[in-house]
Amino acid sequence: MPAINILAISGSLRPNSSNNAVIHAAAALVHGEVNFVIYEGLGNLPHFNDSKDPPAEVLELRNMLGSADGVLISSPEYAFGVPGVLKNALDWTVSSGEFVNKPVALITAATGGNNAHASLLLTFTALSAQLPPGHQLLISFVRAKLNESGEVKDPATVQAIKSVMDALITTIKSNRENDEVA
């Protein structure tokens, strides 16, 4: 079986953000059968405008999403909502369909996070993504779960991230098996 390709997207542009720490923790928890790629272009995407001729940055994102077997999103909550840069990226995929039936894992890591998490779940419903309950995690008070170096070290949080990644990988494998049978 070919390697599993997972594209990870942090909803924060800050290099030392808690959500980048979550993405890196997730990357450390996956096995050798997984190619784990972190998308670095979120801040370079132009504002969504439903262009019939999207810019190169948008095409790159769409291609990366299209070639991924699954997607991990880790998002903060800003002003009780989804960060604008992440929502912008998702908006660019509405008409092109990269998320349709795509297995997605959603981690919201914030002080609270309930509102952003709920909003992202609605957005992924609109995108027709495959996001079962085991693919979702809300990490409230995330900064208390990081060590002095900014790494996720809280054992319960690490285990919860591992569970989400295991669920995502299991779904991807199941989808592959179903595709082979079909």
CATH ID of 4-181, from 3.40.50.360, 3.40.50.10470, 3.30.70.920, 3.30.56.10? 3.40.50.360
Would you list the domain boundaries of the chain?
Answer: 4-181
Report pLDDT digits (tens) over 78-102. 999 999 999 999 999 999 999 999 9
The model's pTM is 0.96
Q: What is the pLDDT of residue 142?
A: 97
Q: What is the pLDDT of residue 182?
A: 67
Within 8 A by CB and 6+ apart from 60, the residues are: 41
Lowest mean pLDDT among 16-20, 27-31, 178-182: 178-182
State how far the Cα of 90 lies from the Cα of 42, in Å rounded to an integer: 10
Q: What is the pLDDT of residue 80?
A: 96
Element (H, E) at 61: helix 56-67
State how far the Cα of 6 lies from the Cα of 34, in Å rounded to an integer: 7
Please say whether the beta carbons of 76 and 12 come within 8 A. Answer: yes
Please say whether the beta carbons of 50 and 95 come within 8 A. Answer: yes
Q: Give residue 50's pLDDT band: very low, low, confident or very high (50, 70, 90).
A: confident
- Selection from 55, 51, 25 nearest residue 38 by Cα: 25
Q: What is the mean pLDDT of residues 50-73?
A: 95
Q: What is the pLDDT of residue 31?
A: 81
Q: CA-CA distances (angstroms) from residue 81 to 17, 22, 75, 110, 131?
A: 17, 19, 10, 11, 19
Percentage of the chain lying above the pLDDT 70 cut: 99
Q: What is the pLDDT of residue 178?
A: 86
Q: What is the mean pLDDT of the chain?
A: 95
